[in-house]
Amino acid sequence: MMTIQELNEIKERTLKTMELRLQKKDTGKHVLICGGPGCHSSNAGEIKEVFEEKIREKGLDDVKVTLAGCFGLCETGPNVEIYPEGIFYSRIKVEDIDKIVDSHLCKGEIVEELLYEGSIEDGNIKPVSEVDFYKKQVKIALRNCGIIDYENIDEYIALDGYQALAKVVLEMTPQEVIELMKEANLRGRGGAGFPAGRKWETAFKYPADQKYVICNADEGDPGAFMDRSILEGDPHSVLEAMAICGYAIGADQGFIYIRAEYPVAVHRLEVAIRQAREKGLLGKNIFGTDFNFDIELRLGAGAFVCGEGTALMESIEGKRGMPRPKIHRTAHRGLWGKPTIINNVETFANVPAIILKGADWFKSIGTEDSPGTKVFALGGKIKNTGLVEIPMGITLREIIFDIGGGIPNGKEFKAVQTGGPSGGCIPKEHLDTPVDFASLGKLGSIMGSGGMIVLDEDDCMVDIARFFLDFTVDESCGKCVPCREGTKRMLEILERIVNGEGTPEDLDRLESLAETITEGSLCGLGQTAANPVISTMKYFRDEYEAHVYEKRCPAGSCQALLEFFITEDCIGCTKCARNCPVSCIEGKVKERHVIDTGKCIKCGTCMEVCPVGAVIKR
């Protein structure tokens, strides 16, 4: 069993070993390597080993190496930071390590050519905290990600870990915890934004012999990986918050439902749960009180619909993950018919900070309606792909252009897709919209879990709608007719349109289907399935009309509607004609060639083989 004194001892002791990283000491060096989803996949583990090996060879006893959670800037990974200076190296390959060890670690000379390009301004080298990508960010949910060693519970404890749990079980009543959470108005970060405190209160007030806490880690929205990063970079924050929730509502058992696509997160959670149990921070008589709480992992198996609360519970119960009709609130009758609280990973990660710093602090960040921060995963056509945590209320423009660095390759911004398959596309005239739950909803999109995919001029909005419908059709569980049949019909219409076979009536049909599916579906998946279509039809109707009336794709993306054309740049090398599989290109040597568009199958081979780039799509 752990006492508060022991917890504080671990904290003091471990803090001393972390002083370099926290920039409280300046003798010695500390190498932090990003072990986030992107960097982990590009060999961060090997980079760490090589660093350690070289450091041993050089006999540098005062240099420490740590593999930490996600730094956020996935675009430039694998990333390495060196403290106490906070120097940010990016795109590090194993071959680069020698140089860093020789110059930076041995002689204190920074290796400029390996620095992250954004950290040099007017010839001066900026520390990582001053880089544009990080400057506007405020970290609550990601507070420990990229700082602590995710597999070392002591480092979590050093940065006030499990202090919130101690405070709650030793000093507060469940009612006080719930009041504090209600006061802070933490809204669910999984999509819908329901206030966590109110949810907890409902479960608290409902008497039952058994209650459950579930962490929804079934992060299925394509393009969203914030939950994965939190689970992998700071797993204990979620465990601690679940225990706090358990105390508040009177539950002694928690489940983390995590998708099987995240094996790394599963492994790190298993390690974290084992450590917490060993320290007595999970299990019986936590901090010597009569409060018991334990957590079990449950794996999904690749069904998007299981992110829906009731489907998730069906899946934990060992059944097909089909949503239940909402006759009862899950806070009254959830898992195995018992009162159950489901919150998502990011929501939970905020809880310990709120308990320790108070509701007023939390409300001082963000907007009145949506206090706090939100983590977004920036992806698609954007320079700085990665993970950002921003205070609610800053504009889309600030996120995409100031933090995200704008669109690469000189292309024009077209839209940003938020909220995954349940969300919508927001065009450039609304870039100055502040990001909060209500504003995004008004634009026909949703905050969702925080995926933000940036689209540029080359992306066809009809095709994007088709892409999401394809996803929904595949993932619809098939229980209710509007979703099962309706989304299928919508997809067929969209496929007709992108293939140039759409009719004007198809547009009306799409609109009417969208309305029916939204109104008539059983669960959130169906009710929001039409959003990608509704929002693209609202803001980009001209693109739909161009496909239908002119059989033309303005973005030049829909293969069936394109024409290949040989420009005057042609040098007459005959390469295209020789490679064309249907022999539809004619022309004499050293003369401009011509494509017979009637015979062309639009395979694109001519474009690929042309040595001078004379073949274009139009």
Minimal distance, residue 165 CB to other proteins, in Å: 26
In degrees, rounded to 5, the angle at the alpha carbon of residue 431 between the alpha carbons of residues 429 and 433 is 110
- Report the residue from 235, 379, 391, 486 that binds other proteins according to the rule CB under 8 A: 379
Which residue among 1, 12, 24, 41 contacts other proteins (CB under 8 A)?
Answer: 41
Region from 162-170, 201-209, 214-222, 572-580 binding other proteins, contact rule CB under 8 A:
214-222
Report the relative pairing of strands 615-617 and 564-566 from DSSP bridges: antiparallel
Give the DSSP per-residue string, 472-522: HHHH--S-SHHHHHHHHHHHHHHHHHHTT---HHHHHHHHHHHHHHHHH-S
Whether the Cβ atoms of residue 245 and residue 200 lie closer than 8 Å to each other? yes
Task: Reduce the secondary structure of 530-591 to three states and give it as a string.
Answer: CHHHHHHHHHCHHHHHHHHHCCCCCCCCCHHHCCEEECCCCCCCCHHHHHCCCCCEECCCCC
Segment 496 to 535, residues that bind other proteins, using CB under 8 A: none
Contact pattern from residue 150 through residue 179 relative to other proteins, giving x for each residue in contact according to CB under 8 A and a dash for the rest: ------------------------------
Please identify, using beta-carbon distances, which residue of 74 and 286 lies nearer to other proteins.
74
Cis omega before residue 84 (within 30°)?
A: yes
Contact stretch for other proteins (CB under 8 A) within 50-58, 107-115, 164-172, 378-386 = 378-386
State how beta strands 451-456 and 373-380 pair: parallel
Other C-beta atoms lying within 10 Å of the C-beta of residue 519: 11
Binding test (CB under 8 A) with other proteins, winner from 89, 204, 225, 544: 225
Which 561-590 positions form the footprint of other proteins (CB under 8 A)? none
355 binds other proteins (CB under 8 A): no
Min dist. Cβ of residue 219 to other proteins (A)? 7
Q: How far is the CB of 226 from other proteins (least distance, A)?
A: 9
Of residues 282, 316, 530, 580, which one binds other proteins by CB under 8 A?
316
302 contributes a contact to other proteins by CB under 8 A: yes
In whole angstroms, give the CA distance from residue 534 to residue 528. Answer: 10
Q: Is 39 exposed, middle or buried (0-12, 13-18, 19+ CB in 10 A)?
A: buried
Least distance from other proteins to the Cβ atom of residue 303, Å:
5
- 459/543 with CB nearer other proteins: 459
* Closest C-alpha among 560, 566, 538, 533 to residue 547: 560
| 108 touches other proteins by CB under 8 A | no
* Binding span for other proteins by CB under 8 A among 21-29, 181-189, 234-242, 298-306: 298-306
Assess 318 for contact with other proteins (CB under 8 A).
yes
Structural contact between residues 351 and 377, judged by C-beta atoms closer than 8 angstroms: no
The yes or no reply on residue 119 touching other proteins (CB under 8 A) is no
Query: What are φ and ψ of residue 121, in 5° steps?
Result: -135, 125
Residues that bind other proteins (CB under 8 A): 37-38, 41-42, 74-75, 77, 219-225, 228, 260-263, 298-304, 315-321, 336, 377, 379-381, 385-386, 417, 420, 451, 453, 455, 459, 464, 467-468, 477
